[in-house]
Amino acid sequence: MYVLMAFRHLKNRVPQLASPSSFNFSRLVHSFSFATVKAEELSGSQPAEVLNLVQGNWIGSSNRNTIPDPLNGESFIRVSEVDEKGIQPFVESLSKCPKHGLHNPFKSPERYLMLGDVSIKAAQKLSLPEVSDFFAKLIQRVSPKSYEQALGEVFVTGKFLENFCGDQVRFLARSFAVPGNHLGQQSNGYRWPFGPVTIITPFNFPLEIPLLQLMGALYMGNKPLLKVDSKVSLVMEQMLRLLHECGLPAEDVDFINSDGKTMNKLLLEAEPRMTLFTGSSKVAEKLALDLKGRIKLEDAGFDWKILGPDVQNEDYVAWVCDQDAYACSGQKCSAQSILFMHENWSKSSFIEKLTGLASRRKLDDLTVGPVLTVTTKEMLDHMKKLLEIKGSKLLFGGEALENHSIPAIYGAIKPTAVFIPLEEILNENNYDLVTKEIFGPFQVVTEYKQNELQLVLNVLEKMHAHLTAAVVSNDPLFLQEVIGNSVNGTTYAGLRARTTGAPQNHWFGPAGDPRGAGIGTPEAIKLVWSCHREVIYDIGPVPQNWQTPKPT
């Protein structure tokens, strides 16, 4: 979801994850009172157990989902998954929360302060090198990515918690007042919770996405039920234990592991007042119908980048493009899916530089690694279909990774780029194929000429997902033209523009859809996790000598 390179200096401070080919993990020096696992010891011989949390109690289940290690296929996590017969305690727990929430501006305002204190303590814990190292390595084990990328996710999460320490939680519920028509009348606008809510998050950011949305829900007074993809739910289970240690009441959050069918049944029975869903567009559209629109979505993104006519700093731009397309093996909803190059860039050494950067990525340091939702065959078959398009060609990659033990249920290919002529992308017979999101290290590259910018804008207009985008140019008129004729919710503009960026200091989310959800900022929290309530005070006095008027 983001590229955070501020941690290069930390490589010498904390040990790197062992080579995935060796699996000879050393024991952690540190142990924590909240933790029930040791990240470096997870293996087939020492599997982790993941429990559920409901009404303040951690509970198991007779139904175990065994998770294969994405690096060698060993069964290294056992998840207690709730089946359809076991959802009733979760339904009851949500039903106990009233529509006006656990707190609101008129009810239990001390909870705003309590949650500010929880944020302070949790931020302090995550700032400890041994704790951040624990979570970074835990993330690596369940969703393999480079240590730098994993540690960056922990860093952003910690900074988010710092942003909402102390009084910052109650400032989220800031109200306003407007004078009325007569003495004693005044209208007041308040941010109001929904009450019982649910959060469903994917595998690719096991800590950042669920934690940021969970805390936003709590800050505004809701009672959330959290479901994280079972492949990675161990990370949030450990984080919830840390939050409890920091003072979060155990009954404030429920945590469930289940398959999709069971979760769908739970949603229909519990009827949460709002559901936040981050994941695939197909599932998002189904939930929108099932939940009668009571949903916020941060779904798939076929994210674009346009290189403008002003060619400069080729090395830097190529590096950002490599990071955007291939960091985390392309498994970011903000990953660069298609690159539009002005013809001036095509005439430069840009593609050569991008090819060289992609070739540096290797499995040993997880700068490329397992793809958890698309198999090798599916990615290579998609590439073959693209190469059947007239004028297309393989720029680099296009081969399976070699000498690894990644199980066949996951994907493993070299960073890949396929060139498709612009006019062929606009061909109705090709458009859906070219703009199909491949959640892996795969991108489409094309070229446009000086007088073809409108054709590029036509491609953008036809897209359905409008999450992130980048316009790489310092030409203000060019930026104005592209930004003014596009809609992506998180758009970077300028020479240093990227597509992958979800730090805690700016909005991250789609635009162009009234169901769109944001993350990270006060505006995102208020939009997703509260609604507007207007209270009009009209206390009088009634005018002297008032008489009942004629009916109207």
Q: Please calculate the CA angle 50-52-57 and round it to the nearest 5 degrees.
A: 125
DSSP tag of 90: H
Structure tokens that stand for 211 in this block = 């934690």
Q: Please calculate the CA angle 271-276-282 and round it to the nearest 5 degrees.
A: 95
CA atoms within 13 A on the CB side of 21: 7
Whole-angstrom distance between the N-terminal and C-terminal Cα of the chain?
Answer: 59
Which among 165, 321, 328, 333 is annotated as catalytic? 333
Strands 468-472 and 490-493: parallel
165 is catalytic: no
531 is catalytic: no
Cα(138)–Cα(149) distance, rounded to whole angstroms? 12
Q: Which of 62, 163, 12 is nearest to 505 (CA)?
A: 163
Q: Which of 206, 204, 247 is nearest to 226 (CA)?
A: 206
Q: What are phi and psi of 3, to 5 degrees?
A: -115, 115
CA distances from 231 to 8, 60, 206, 310, 500 (A): 28, 17, 9, 44, 23
Q: 106 pairs with which residues across the strands? A: none
Cα(382)–Cα(441) distance, rounded to whole angstroms? 13
Q: 200 pairs with which residues across the strands? A: 227, 277
Q: Which of 171, 207, 54 is nearest to 530 (CA)?
A: 171
DSSP tag of 274: E
Strands 442-448 and 468-472: unpaired
CA distances from 538 to 179, 184, 256, 520, 544 (A): 11, 5, 45, 37, 16
Q: Left if phi > 0, otherwise alpha if psi is -120 to 50, otherwise beta: which for 469?
A: beta
Cα(425)–Cα(446) distance, rounded to whole angstroms? 9
Strands 393-396 and 274-278: unpaired
Q: What are phi and psi of 50, to 5 degrees?
A: -115, 125
Lookup result for tokens 């190292």 = 133
Cα(141)–Cα(194) distance, rounded to whole angstroms? 35
Which among 74, 81, 237, 298 is annotated as catalytic? 298
E strand or H helix at 307, and its extent?
Answer: strand 303-307
Cα(390)–Cα(421) distance, rounded to whole angstroms? 8
What are the percentages of helix, strand and coil residues in the chain, rounded to 5?
Answer: 35, 20, 45
- Under a CB-based contact definition with an 8 Å cutoff, are residues 492 and 479 in contact? no
- What number of residues does the chain have? 552
Q: Which residues are catalytic?
A: 298, 333
